[in-house]
Amino acid sequence: MDKPLIPPAKYLVYAAFLVSLFVSCSKQEEAVSSYSTMELEILQLVNQYRITQDLPTLSMHAVLFNQALKHTEYMISQDKLSHDNSNDRFKQISTELGSKAFGENVARGYRTAHEVVNAWLGSEGHKANIEGGFSRTGISAMRNEQGVYYYTQIFTD
């Protein structure tokens, strides 16, 4: 039996996502190679979910990534999960990008992108951020010295 000429829909969605990452990078957006595999998997899973909800996909943005990275480093240094200083982060993002709407998801202890995204989707507040009217995101996933992952995802318009 011949193989179908058109790949399954999930591969088309994934291919379109990868192409959009390479094509849509502006001066303020970072190249795909700047992110870890875990961060890209989280972005892919969040965007796959958003597509099922008829929402536009999110693009990674350097300013948001840097803010997410700083917050993840902070959580690791404090050995706690937190939204500490979120107002300061959002003010900085607003100043740099002119953003008016923000969201932030944090997590720790999940070993895979699937686990953390599923946990966020199982939480009303986190899910609301994933489904929010945002267009840009920054994701940081880092391990502490014991190998425990900490995550920050920031959303903005």
**In 3-state terms, what secondary structure has residue 77?**
helix
Measured CA to CA, the distance from residue 76 to residue 81 in angstroms comes to 8
Which pairs from 84-91 meet CB under 8 Å and 24+ separation? 89/154
Domains assigned to the chain: 37-156 (3.40.33.10)
Measured CA to CA, the distance from residue 101 to residue 147 in angstroms comes to 33
Residue where the block lists tokens 């058109």: 6
pLDDT tens digits in sequence order for the chain, 157 residues long: 444 433 444 444 444 444 344 333 333 444 445 899 999 999 999 999 999 999 999 999 999 999 999 999 999 999 999 999 989 999 999 999 999 999 999 999 999 999 999 999 999 999 999 999 999 999 999 999 999 999 999 999 9
